[in-house]
Amino acid sequence: MGLLMLVLLRLNLKPPFELAQIPTMNQIASTGLAGLMDPVEPGLSCGSDTAHMSIFGYDPFTFYRGRGAFETMGSGIDMEVGDIAFKCNFAYIENGIVKLRRVDREFPEWGLPLIDALNTQLKTPIQIQANHATEHRIGLKVVSNHYSGELSDEIIGTDPLKDNLPLRQAKPKVQCEKAIRTAKIINELSDSIHQMLSEHPINIQRQQQGLPTANIVLLRGCGQRIKVQSFQEKYGWKGAVIAPTAIIQGLGKTIGLEWHHVEGATGDYNSNFINKAKKASELLENDYDFVFLHIKAVDDAGHDKNKDLKIKYIQKVDEMLNYFVDNTKLQDAVIAVTGDHTTPYAYGDHTFQSVPFIVSKLSLLNGKKNDVQFNEISCLKGSLGRFCGKQVMQIIKQYSS
């Protein structure tokens, strides 16, 4: 008879929500409803676009056509239903190898003239329109009248998805004439962009200084403008979005959430969180029924594999929520807190785990408490159990009634 020994080790690796000091989130969790949410469905690693679509109640399996249109609309470029666009990275390529998919998070400090060059100096029969989005990212729409109505979003872009891999050639997802033609056009566009950027004075100077150059634009997530029922028609609420991040702005515009500028809100580590809370309170006090407030820095810290920064910005979110709770005049307001996906600092990219979800009323925050806190393990004990993102808006709507 063989002997099987099973050894279980408990590793002292607490997740950031358990390590962070978050009294306000814990207060919300302990006075309302809590659970674990799968942003789209269990076991699926998703992007911010599909996750937010699901959370707002728009099935990404039905409506999703790529994230490029969201990023591009969020950057300030108008799009018509059916137009195609890309979410793009300024990147650094050497001998056909993408050394850095993200050339520099501080790209706006030195690289914005390169976007102007895309719009004015590109030598190609394809006309484009590009705008800065967030950090090293831009939205880019193909606007050539010659190809209007003849381009397909059914293509795979040029992004290799990881550093130190060859630049991809755009390829059709389906073997139809329109997709094949579009892939060829996009490859020609990519080559023209690389040639122009390589000769730009900013990149020549950076090369002389031994710095990585922004000499390629990775054409990612080709998508078209979609047409869906508006948020107000769907839920009966006039809604607003506070999100410097272009992709979330664009999704908000797509579903009819009105975007509002916030002074000092940048969508990165330098964003002014308190001003976001002030704006959210102001909007709710002035005829808006629903305000979506988006924070990007916690996700950035996960991508940067920085545990301390992740904890720091989770705590800054808590300080922002505390400001809102202490200063809003609307004590009957409902407040919900969750994430759109996991980005563990040990991995550096999106993963498939569930995220904690909490919802409470401001009028209850100083009342009777339970033992639930805002972290993955504790929220699983909450009354909501485990559920999918498509249920979020109905949970909030029923809880607020």
Instruction: Please measure the distance between the N-terminal and C-terminal CA atoms of the chain and give it in whole angstroms.
Output: 63
In order of their start, the domains of the chain are 16-64+229-400 (3.40.720.10), 72-224 (no CATH)
pLDDT, tens digit (0-9, with 9 covering 90-100), for 279-302: 999 999 998 999 999 999 999 999
| CB distance 219 to 159 below 8 Å | yes
Choose among 173, 71, 225, 196: nearest CA to 126.
Answer: 196
SS percent in the chain: helix, strand, coil, step 5: 40, 20, 45
Q: How far is CA 311 from CA 18, 19, 297, 301, in A?
A: 9, 7, 11, 9
Asked if 263 contacts 272 with a C-beta cutoff of 8 angstroms, the reply is: yes
pLDDT, tens digit, 9 for 90 and up, residues 125-141: 788 999 998 889 999 99
User: Is residue 10 pLDDT above 50, yes or no?
Assistant: no
- CA dist., res. 318 & res. 22, Å (int): 5
- Mean pLDDT (the chain) is 91
Of the pLDDT bands very low, low, confident and very high (cuts 50, 70, 90), residue 5 is low
pLDDT given at position 348: 87
351's tokens: 């993963």
For the chain, the residue count is 401
Distance CA 392, CA 341 (A): 14
Rounded average pLDDT over 362-378: 93
Look at 141 and 80; give whichever has higher pLDDT. Answer: 141
Whether the pLDDT of residue 1 is over 50: the answer is no
Task: Give the pLDDT confidence of 332-344 residue by residue, as tens digits.
Answer: 899 999 999 988 8
Residue 166 confidence (pLDDT) above 90: yes
Q: Which residue has the tokens 């998508």?
A: 223
pLDDT at res. 266 = 86
Cα angle 261-262-263, degrees, rounded to a multiple of 5: 120
Confidence of residue 12 (pLDDT cuts 50, 70, 90): very low
Residue with token string 């393990």: 377
Specify the DSSP element, H or E, that contains 84: strand 84-94
CA distances for 99 relative to 8, 167, 198, angstroms: 40, 10, 15
